[in-house]
A = this chain, B = another copy of it.
Amino acid sequence: MENSKLKVFIPFFNLIWSDDLLTQKEHLIIKDFIQVQNWLTINEKEFLASQIAISNPPSRIVLTTWKSEIDKAIAQNPRVQSIFDIVLELSNNDILIKGLATDFIQLENDLGILGEEVVSNFKKNATTFTSTHHSAPTFEIAKLTQILDGKQSAIIQKVKAIISRPEFAYETSTDTAIYREKVYEWCKILADENLGNMAYPKKYGGGENIADYFAIMETLSYHDLSLVIKFGVQFGLWGMSIHSLGTEKHYQKYLKDIGTLKLPGCFAMSETNHGSNVKGLETTATYNHKDKTFLIHTPHEKAQKEYIGNAAVHGQMATVFAKLIIDEVDYGVNAFVVPLRDENNVILKGITIKDCGLKMGLNGVDNGIIRFDNVIIPKDNMLDRFASINDQGKFESPIPSDNRRFFTMLGTLVGGRIGIPRSALAAAKSGLTIAIKYSDKRKQFGPEGGEEVSILNYRMHQRRLFPLLAKTYAIHFALQYVTTRFIERTELEMPEIEALAAGMKAYATWNTTATLQECREACGGKGYLSENRIGALKNDTEIYTTFEGDNTVLMQLVAKNRLAEFRKTYGKMDAMGIISYVYENTKTVIAEKNPIVTRKTDEAHLLDSAFHLSAFEYREKTILASAAKRLKKLIIGGLEPYDAFNVVQHQMIDVAQAYLDRIVLEQFVKALESFEDPQSKVIVAKLSQLYALSQIEKNKGWYLEDGYLEPVKTKAIRKMVNQLCWELRPEAVSLVNAFAIPDSCLAAPIVM
């Protein structure tokens, strides 16, 4: 194509043969265009048409020549803005072609080519700002680690040192028997290191340090999660049930041996037919005053104790929850110590134990099904802190209501609902560390002609991982708070703390499930290989949303507690009461709910924690008041309360969710205030902003429905979430490194 006038068609020919987005239709458009150009001779037209005939593709060499002509044109005038600019260059600024500007631009439009993009692609600029973003932290990792570990730093260091020893190398056998024994051996090492009995009184060999106990649970969770659960069953559930429900005589008899793992035991509450509704347990403990014994019995198959950890292989005793029967009167569910195996691990008479078999995860824990066939235990085996039988064989209890007594007993066991979310938190941290470090290293795609780009530079990838990183940081501080509240609890605060722990258990474990899901997908095929550990983390924590209380059931408990609190404060429930409730303590709300504020979108405002807290509080209070109002209306309207609660069940979950969101943000903001390292404070503050704004974004439907936010503001929030993600990109690897998870625990080859 020596004729420079014909050359002007090169960009179009190139597009036709290279761009797979152009179809027959566009083909025809160019053909028609050529036909109507009066300045072309018939021969020229024929020649041009032949260049785009489907039956006659250009050779690879011709294509390369065209491309180099275009490149030359762009080199001559790097400021070309449209295809027509290139056309002009190719024609050497031919005056005739210049006069065809309108026609050519029309052609570009007809082809639907976004001119600037096509031209930019021709330019092949390999150094885009997306390509050049990279890790460049602005804070000292060790300082942030110190802040996260806080007062538990020493015990955390100790645990990390232990689980990094060679004997803690992961078990890779798929043989469950081998895996279970390995986990048991690990537990023994931990017991020998005095970690198991950390929460028990010093009198019984313990460390009397509950805060350290929870830190141990969390830190162990960087390692194998079967180990953590086996550890928790033995020292937490089994040991603490003795400590919380028993009395001195039980402590003396059992606690030391439990703490050293000389006496492996179980916590036998759940039954096949009663997992969540434990009030309905059917196992019986029938008192025989003549012999001063109890007869422990499983009335039918579906009343067997199920999923009991430590039962299938190692447990020698169990705290068994059973209905106490005296003289044919049912005194509700109480707790009893029942031997299962002798010291040689032989199952005792009357006890039948089945293995639960393979599970999705946690296969290092020997869960079993226990059946009792008229097993006789001595009277002293009743854990009698809350109820007992006197010398006359009569029932005695300071809590006359059977229900209330049972729930009081359960309340003393709330520690398990702190250990589990803290373990879940650690698993989320492991997953994020693996996924973020891998995504930083992994490169895929890139600008035309440029190097491939770290996938962590892609906005969508940031969007998938960073809000979860922010939420995980938020939950870290919230669980610190719950732990402190639990340790410093008074009797009066118990209902609140129980609800808080139940709620945070659900909140943290759901976050872990969601986080690990995203981490697996973010690591692609590598995330699917067992060696990279996300699979184990996912499968082991999968049941966290179910055990220690099904999350959905727990959220309803939380909501009922919030409702009860609400009613106590605003008994009258008239319209003004509700309004004043919503606005009380949400001081800025009234001021904010005017068009200037609902539409306020400046950066300082959007990033202001006062705005975030107001928004969270407002949502919490409004949802709670509205659920209360709706319930009242339904019941007054004639519904049974049971039906009414069912009708609003979905709203109840929102009540709990909004309450927990507020607690979590509040504690995050509070924790930040006490940060002494200014560099890490700046970055973690960005995480708190990201947490707050991505939660608001998630709930934008609600905020828009309510009118608290207007569209212009929710859109600005979405952009701000993107911006925060982008700004956090260079810090992300350091933010996960601050979790300081031992390499031997992470173990994933993709991040080594």
Contacts and interface: CB of A to CB of B under 8 A. Distances in A.
B63 A20 contact: no
Given A112-B571, A120-B635, A18 B401 contact: yes
Given A275-B525, A542-B520, A705-B711, A360 B404 contact: no
A689 to B, nearest CB: 18
Contacts of A573: 114
Given A117-B635, A546-B525, A129 B306 contact: no
A530 B359 contact: yes
B400 A463 contact: no
A571 B104 CA distance: 13
A650 B718 CA distance: 10
B632 A114 contact: yes
A444 interface: yes
Nearest to A174: B174
Contacts of A19: 404
Contact of A111 (B128, B568, B714): B568
Contacts of A155: none
A492 B116 contact: no
B722 A711 contact: no
Contacts of A62: 400
A296 to B, nearest CB: 22
Instruction: Give the interface centre of A63, A175, A402, A650 by most chain B CB atoms within 10 Å.
Output: A650
A47 interface: no
A360 B534 CA distance: 9
A713 B596 CA distance: 25
Interface string A296-311: 0000000000110000
A528 B401 contact: no
Contacts of A447: 640, 642
Interface residues of A, number: 141
Contact of A711 (B111, B448, B704, B715): B704
B705 A715 contact: yes
Contacts of A18: 401, 403-404
A18 to B, nearest CB: 4
Contacts of A247: none
A650 to B, nearest CB: 6
A444 B275 contact: yes
A631 B571 contact: no
A444 B274 contact: yes
Given A112-B568, A495-B23, A640-B120, A452 B542 contact: no
A130 to B, nearest CB: 5
A165 interface: no
Interface string A129-147: 1110000000000000000
A521 interface: yes
A400 B650 contact: no
A120 to B, nearest CB: 5
Given A62-B400, A448-B642, A646-B130, A114 B631 contact: yes
A443 B277 CA distance: 9
A57 B116 contact: no
A128 to B, nearest CB: 4
A598 interface: no
B459 A646 contact: yes
A14 to B, nearest CB: 9
Contact of A60 (B307, B400, B560, B705): B400
Contact of A458 (B175, B306, B646): B646
B57 A398 contact: yes
Given A130-B646, A635-B114, A650-B722, A711 B700 contact: no
Contact of A529 (B117, B356, B528): B356
A605 to B, nearest CB: 19
A547 B567 contact: no
A401 B17 contact: yes
A707 B495 CA distance: 43
Contacts of A461: 552
Given A111-B571, A568-B26, A711-B704, A460 B120 contact: no
Interface string A170-190: 001011100000000000000
Contact of A495 (B21, B274, B357, B404): B21
A635 B116 contact: yes
Q: In this complex, which of A445, A546, A641 has the most chain B Cβ atoms within 10 angstroms of its Cβ?
A: A641
A255 interface: no
A101 interface: no
A49 interface: no
Contacts of A628: 114
Given A120-B640, A460-B649, 12 more contacts: A17-B404, A113-B571, A116-B632, A117-B631, A120-B641, A277-B445, A359-B528, A360-B530, A360-B534, A460-B552, A701-B704, A706-B711
23 contacts: A17-B399, A17-B401, A20-B404, A21-B495, A24-B492, A58-B400, A60-B402, A111-B571, A114-B635, A128-B643, A174-B175, A275-B524, A276-B445, A276-B524, A356-B529, A450-B642, A463-B650, A521-B551, A524-B546, A525-B543, A528-B543, A650-B718, A704-B704
Interface of A: 17-21, 23-26, 57-60, 62-63, 108-114, 116-117, 120-121, 125, 128-131, 172, 174-176, 270, 273-277, 280, 306-307, 331, 356-361, 395, 397-404, 407-408, 443-448, 450, 452, 457-461, 463-464, 492, 495, 513, 517, 520-521, 524-525, 527-531, 534-535, 538-539, 542-543, 545-547, 550-552, 556, 560-561, 564, 566-573, 628, 631-632, 635-636, 640-644, 646-647, 649-650, 652-653, 700-701, 704-707, 711, 714-715, 718, 722
What are the nearest 7 A-B pairs in CB distance? A112-B567, A360-B535, A112-B568, A109-B571, A358-B530, A704-B704, A447-B642
